[in-house]
Amino acid sequence: MALPLARLPLEALALALDRTVDRPTVLDPALSLTRSGDRLAGPAATLLFRPGGAAVEPGDDPAGPVAAALAGMASGAVVCLSLGGPPDPRVALWDRFAAEAARVGGLAGAVVDGGQSAGSAGPAVAAHGPALLPAAGRYTLVGRDEPVTLGGVLVRPGDLVIGDAAGIVVVPADAAETVETRARAIAGATDARLTEIRHQETRDA
């Protein structure tokens, strides 16, 4: 179901959601895709982290807590990583280890309530920008596959997360069919009106 929705213009999806769902569905624009040209689409797989964790000593595993939490996630999922409160843009919650684990696991991407290590490869990621501090020793996984709040939006496992350079929306799984129908109608009406305007310009020339 995610694929047809992902082909629709994001503006049409956002408007259809606004007319269908009685809660916020457009994420805070501070959470944006970190690579130009990336597009995000897939069912949400949620993770909840809280501050805490054992101090990291020299020689300890350098991978942050997120990479291990990605094990077993379904291929094609979008990781939705929440801190359950204010974001922490100083900390690279999405580090190179998480990016590589996501790539190996076939995940579609991630939306992260913190920063991202500069130069991280792998799937598309929306974050609060580049960050230098590691997550290891600062955050601990406390929940997974449960509703979380991310960018001011409630995200439930299986909801559809779709985004591009214009922003990111969350389509509740139980409203996806209605949203798709309305978004197609909105996109069609938009195209028709634009065509009418262009034809008017031609006639006036």
- Among candidate residues 180, 165, 135, the one with its CA nearest the CA of residue 35: 165
Where residue 13 falls among pLDDT bands split at 50, 70, 90? very high
Stretch 151-157: mean pLDDT? 97
Where residue 195 falls among pLDDT bands split at 50, 70, 90? confident
Q: How far apart are CA 137 and CA 181, in angstroms?
A: 46
Residue 145's identity, in one-letter code, is D
- Among candidate residues 58, 57, 68, the one with its CA nearest the CA of residue 101: 68
Q: What pLDDT is attached to residue 204?
A: 60
What pTM was computed for the model? Answer: 0.90
CB 31 within 8 A of CB 164: no
Q: How far apart are CA 167 and CA 126, in angstroms?
A: 9
Q: How far apart are CA 165 and CA 143, in angstroms?
A: 29
Give me the residue spans of the domains in the chain.
Answer: 23-171
* Angstrom distances, CA of residue 156 to CA of 8, 23, 84, 119: 22, 13, 13, 29
Domain spanning 23-171: CATH superfamily: Ribonuclease E inhibitor RraA/RraA-like (3.50.30.40)
Q: What pLDDT is attached to residue 131?
A: 94
Residue 1 reports pLDDT greater than 50: no
Q: How far apart are CA 131 and CA 178, in angstroms?
A: 39
Beta strands in the chain (DSSP E): 32-33, 40-51, 78-82, 91-92, 109-112, 116-117, 124-127, 130-131, 133-134, 139-144, 148-150, 153-155, 160-164, 167-171
Q: What pLDDT is attached to residue 201?
A: 66
The more confident residue out of 118 and 132 is 132
- In tens, the pLDDT along 59-110 reads 666 778 899 999 889 999 999 999 999 999 999 999 999 999 999 999 999 9
